Amino acid sequence: APYTLTYFAIKGRAGPLKILLADKEQQLKENVVTVQDWMKGDIRATCLFGQLPKFEDGDLVLYQSNAILRHLGRKHGAYGKNDCEASLIDMMNDAAQDLRQKYIKLIYQEYETGKEAFIKDLPNEFKPFENILAKSKTGFLVGDQISLADYNLFDLLLNLKVLSPSCLDSFPSLKSFVDKISARPKVKALLECENFKKLPINGNGKQ
């Protein structure tokens, strides 16, 4: 495989890039790091920012999940058809990332105390994405082809649906966005693949 991912045995921050790679029919070699091995510290010491995921494309070594996602978007035609589209894709991906960060904070820092308020506030978070998708002729966030921002938002929405199964009920455009991407044959195959399905979403067992 031309690509190697080193990460924990979770979906976590690697979900979007795995979905992109599957959809673009790219092979991925996975080095799974156990928490036990990570705790020893020698792997961490080799990581530029002391964290995973790490991604290798030949001699290129990348850290930072969104840099990896952008790299793959650039290489596999998921970064718009011109600079303006690429900038809009950056904007939407950053917005999705903001929401992902809030989700991760909830999961790892305040699940018990913050879950209810987080779910209650989701409609405010969803509105901008719903507005963009409602105006989109093709059902993608930007332009007329799928982009890295779509993969990122899609993965996040799958996670949020596990947290709150009814959260998309008042968001028809987001709901059809999820249905449409879920139905892409290679994405569907990945979501149904046992190796992917069995991965917990997060590292602490909360979801």
Which positions lie near ligand GSH, rule CB under 6 A?
12-13, 51-53, 64-66
Q: Within 10 A of 107 (CB to CB), how many other CB atoms are there?
A: 22
Q: What are phi and psi of 69, to 5 degrees?
A: -60, -40
Task: Please give the structure tokens belonging to residue 83.
Answer: 């600079």
Select 17 or 22, whichever has its Cβ closest to ligand GSH: 17
Q: How far is the CB of 131 from ligand GSH (least distance, A)?
A: 26
Coil, strand, or helix at residue 41?
Answer: coil
Select 13 or 18, whichever has its Cβ closest to ligand GSH: 13
How far apart CA 204 and CA 56 sit, in angstroms, is: 26
How far apart CA 5 and CA 189 sit, in angstroms, is: 20
Q: How far is the CB of 33 from ligand GSH (least distance, A)?
A: 9
Q: How far is the CB of 135 from ligand GSH (least distance, A)?
A: 29
Select 97 or 173, whichever has its Cβ closest to ligand GSH: 97
Q: How far is the CB of 182 from ligand GSH (least distance, A)?
A: 24
Select 12 or 143, whichever has its Cβ closest to ligand GSH: 12
Q: Is 69 exposed, middle or buried (0-12, 13-18, 19+ CB in 10 A)?
A: buried
What are the Cα distances from residue 117, in Å, to 16, 74, 112? Answer: 26, 37, 11
The CB-nearest residue to ligand GSH is 51
Select 93 or 147, whichever has its Cβ closest to ligand GSH: 93
Q: How far is the CB of 64 from ligand GSH (least distance, A)?
A: 5
